[in-house]
Structure 1
Amino acid sequence: MKEKSKNAARTRREKENAEFYELAKMLPLPSAITSQLDKASIIRLSTSYLKMRAVFPDGTCLDLNSVGDSDQKTMPFAVLTRCDSVHPVSDFCPSSD
Protein backbone atom coordinates (compact mmCIF):
# COMPACT_ATOMS: atom_id res chain seq x y z
CA MET A 1 0.00 0.00 0.00
CA LYS A 2 2.88 2.37 0.76
CA GLU A 3 4.26 1.94 -2.77
CA LYS A 4 0.86 2.77 -4.27
CA SER A 5 0.73 5.98 -2.24
CA LYS A 6 4.24 6.96 -3.37
CA ASN A 7 3.29 6.35 -7.00
CA ALA A 8 0.13 8.41 -6.64
CA ALA A 9 2.10 11.30 -5.10
CA ARG A 10 4.74 11.09 -7.83
CA THR A 11 2.08 11.14 -10.56
CA ARG A 12 0.36 14.12 -8.93
CA ARG A 13 3.66 16.05 -8.72
CA GLU A 14 4.42 15.27 -12.37
CA LYS A 15 1.00 16.63 -13.40
CA GLU A 16 1.47 19.74 -11.24
CA ASN A 17 4.93 20.35 -12.69
CA ALA A 18 3.58 20.00 -16.22
CA GLU A 19 0.90 22.61 -15.49
CA PHE A 20 3.45 24.98 -13.95
CA TYR A 21 5.60 24.57 -17.07
CA GLU A 22 2.61 25.34 -19.32
CA LEU A 23 1.78 28.42 -17.25
CA ALA A 24 5.38 29.63 -17.45
CA LYS A 25 5.33 29.23 -21.24
CA MET A 26 2.28 31.51 -21.41
CA LEU A 27 4.12 34.38 -19.71
CA PRO A 28 5.28 37.08 -22.14
CA LEU A 29 8.93 36.41 -21.37
CA PRO A 30 11.72 34.78 -23.38
CA SER A 31 11.91 31.01 -23.00
CA ALA A 32 15.47 31.39 -21.66
CA ILE A 33 13.92 33.08 -18.62
CA THR A 34 10.76 31.00 -18.21
CA SER A 35 12.68 27.74 -18.34
CA GLN A 36 14.66 28.83 -15.26
CA LEU A 37 11.73 29.91 -13.06
CA ASP A 38 10.78 28.05 -9.92
CA LYS A 39 7.12 27.42 -9.02
CA ALA A 40 6.81 30.42 -6.70
CA SER A 41 8.24 32.73 -9.36
CA ILE A 42 5.83 31.38 -11.97
CA ILE A 43 2.88 32.09 -9.68
CA ARG A 44 4.23 35.52 -8.69
CA LEU A 45 4.88 36.60 -12.29
CA SER A 46 1.55 35.22 -13.48
CA THR A 47 -0.27 37.14 -10.75
CA SER A 48 1.64 40.33 -11.60
CA TYR A 49 0.89 39.90 -15.28
CA LEU A 50 -2.84 39.43 -14.63
CA LYS A 51 -2.89 42.52 -12.40
CA MET A 52 -1.16 44.55 -15.11
CA ARG A 53 -3.68 43.33 -17.67
CA ALA A 54 -6.43 44.62 -15.36
CA VAL A 55 -4.76 48.04 -15.17
CA PHE A 56 -3.89 48.15 -18.88
CA PRO A 57 -6.60 46.04 -20.59
CA ASP A 58 -5.63 47.29 -24.07
CA GLY A 59 -1.90 47.08 -23.46
CA THR A 60 0.40 49.69 -21.99
CA CYS A 61 0.32 53.31 -23.01
CA LEU A 62 4.10 53.41 -22.59
CA ASP A 63 6.05 54.04 -25.79
CA LEU A 64 7.94 50.75 -25.89
CA ASN A 65 10.27 52.13 -28.55
CA SER A 66 12.03 53.92 -25.73
CA VAL A 67 12.42 50.72 -23.71
CA GLY A 68 15.25 49.18 -25.66
CA ASP A 69 15.85 45.77 -27.23
CA SER A 70 13.50 44.89 -30.07
CA ASP A 71 12.63 41.58 -28.39
CA GLN A 72 11.22 43.44 -25.43
CA LYS A 73 8.98 45.65 -27.57
CA THR A 74 6.53 42.79 -27.81
CA MET A 75 6.49 42.12 -24.09
CA PRO A 76 3.39 43.59 -22.43
CA PHE A 77 5.27 44.16 -19.22
CA ALA A 78 8.69 45.08 -20.53
CA VAL A 79 8.72 47.83 -17.93
CA LEU A 80 9.02 45.20 -15.21
CA THR A 81 12.15 43.78 -16.77
CA ARG A 82 13.80 47.17 -17.22
CA CYS A 83 13.11 48.89 -13.89
CA ASP A 84 14.65 48.24 -10.52
CA SER A 85 11.81 49.80 -8.58
CA VAL A 86 8.09 50.33 -8.88
CA HIS A 87 7.01 53.55 -10.53
CA PRO A 88 3.56 55.11 -10.37
CA VAL A 89 1.44 54.67 -13.46
CA SER A 90 1.65 58.43 -14.04
CA ASP A 91 5.36 58.02 -14.80
CA PHE A 92 4.49 55.86 -17.80
CA CYS A 93 1.18 57.25 -19.02
CA PRO A 94 0.71 60.90 -19.89
CA SER A 95 -2.27 62.49 -18.19
CA SER A 96 -5.25 63.50 -20.28
CA ASP A 97 -5.23 67.04 -18.84
Structure 2
Amino acid sequence: MSGWAEDLEGAGKILQDGVEIGEVFYTIRVYLAGPRGEPYPFAKFRQRGYLALYDLLDKPVTLVLEDGRRWDCRLTSLDGTVAAAGAWPSPAADNP
Protein backbone atom coordinates (compact mmCIF):
# COMPACT_ATOMS: atom_id res chain seq x y z
CA MET A 1 0.00 0.00 0.00
CA SER A 2 1.23 3.48 -0.78
CA GLY A 3 -0.24 6.91 -1.11
CA TRP A 4 -0.89 10.18 0.58
CA ALA A 5 -2.42 10.25 4.06
CA GLU A 6 -2.67 13.88 5.17
CA ASP A 7 -1.36 17.42 4.73
CA LEU A 8 -1.08 19.75 7.70
CA GLU A 9 -0.10 23.39 8.10
CA GLY A 10 -0.23 25.41 11.25
CA ALA A 11 1.54 26.72 14.31
CA GLY A 12 2.70 24.35 17.01
CA LYS A 13 4.53 24.34 20.30
CA ILE A 14 7.99 22.81 20.67
CA LEU A 15 8.68 20.90 23.88
CA GLN A 16 12.08 19.71 25.04
CA ASP A 17 12.21 17.38 28.03
CA GLY A 18 8.50 18.15 28.61
CA VAL A 19 9.02 21.92 28.83
CA GLU A 20 7.65 24.35 26.23
CA ILE A 21 10.57 26.25 24.72
CA GLY A 22 8.95 28.01 21.77
CA GLU A 23 6.71 27.82 18.74
CA VAL A 24 7.12 27.03 15.05
CA PHE A 25 5.05 27.17 11.90
CA TYR A 26 4.91 23.73 10.33
CA THR A 27 4.08 22.15 6.99
CA ILE A 28 3.75 18.37 7.14
CA ARG A 29 2.87 15.85 4.43
CA VAL A 30 2.34 12.25 5.52
CA TYR A 31 2.62 9.39 3.04
CA LEU A 32 1.61 5.76 3.53
CA ALA A 33 4.17 3.25 2.26
CA GLY A 34 5.23 -0.36 2.59
CA PRO A 35 3.15 -3.52 2.79
CA ARG A 36 1.37 -2.39 5.97
CA GLY A 37 0.82 1.21 4.92
CA GLU A 38 3.11 2.72 7.56
CA PRO A 39 2.95 6.54 7.83
CA TYR A 40 6.07 8.47 6.76
CA PRO A 41 5.96 12.19 7.59
CA PHE A 42 7.97 14.84 5.77
CA ALA A 43 8.01 18.19 7.53
CA LYS A 44 9.41 21.67 7.43
CA PHE A 45 9.48 23.95 10.46
CA ARG A 46 9.91 27.73 10.44
CA GLN A 47 10.81 29.68 13.51
CA ARG A 48 7.97 31.63 15.13
CA GLY A 49 9.15 34.32 17.53
CA TYR A 50 12.33 33.60 19.42
CA LEU A 51 13.46 30.01 19.23
CA ALA A 52 17.09 29.02 18.67
CA LEU A 53 16.53 26.23 16.14
CA TYR A 54 20.28 25.77 15.70
CA ASP A 55 20.57 24.73 19.36
CA LEU A 56 17.95 22.01 18.76
CA LEU A 57 19.66 20.47 15.72
CA ASP A 58 19.79 16.66 16.05
CA LYS A 59 18.17 16.71 19.50
CA PRO A 60 14.84 15.05 20.33
CA VAL A 61 11.88 17.42 20.67
CA THR A 62 8.10 17.10 20.71
CA LEU A 63 5.91 19.11 18.36
CA VAL A 64 2.39 19.71 19.69
CA LEU A 65 0.15 20.05 16.63
CA GLU A 66 -2.87 22.36 16.49
CA ASP A 67 -5.16 19.31 16.79
CA GLY A 68 -3.46 18.25 20.04
CA ARG A 69 -1.40 15.36 18.70
CA ARG A 70 2.19 15.11 19.90
CA TRP A 71 4.93 14.14 17.49
CA ASP A 72 8.26 13.06 18.98
CA CYS A 73 10.80 13.99 16.35
CA ARG A 74 14.38 15.03 15.78
CA LEU A 75 15.39 18.16 13.89
CA THR A 76 17.74 16.95 11.16
CA SER A 77 18.75 19.93 9.01
CA LEU A 78 18.91 23.68 9.10
CA ASP A 79 18.80 25.83 5.95
CA GLY A 80 16.32 28.54 6.84
CA THR A 81 13.80 25.80 7.63
CA VAL A 82 14.12 22.62 9.62
CA ALA A 83 13.26 19.13 8.42
CA ALA A 84 12.02 16.67 11.01
CA ALA A 85 11.81 12.89 11.24
CA GLY A 86 10.14 10.59 13.77
CA ALA A 87 7.21 8.21 14.32
CA TRP A 88 3.90 9.78 13.28
CA PRO A 89 0.99 9.86 15.80
CA SER A 90 -2.41 8.50 14.80
CA PRO A 91 -5.16 11.03 14.11
CA ALA A 92 -7.05 12.17 17.21
CA ALA A 93 -10.10 10.13 16.13
CA ASP A 94 -8.01 6.94 16.40
CA ASN A 95 -6.87 7.77 19.95
CA PRO A 96 -9.81 7.45 22.38
Larger relative contact order (Cα-Cα within 8 Å, sequence gap ≥ 6)? 2
Q: Please give the range of the TM-score, normalised by the shorter of the 2 chains.
A: under 0.3
TM-score by length of 1: 0.22
Larger radius of gyration: 1
More helix by share: 1
TM-score (norm 2): 0.22
More strand by share: 2
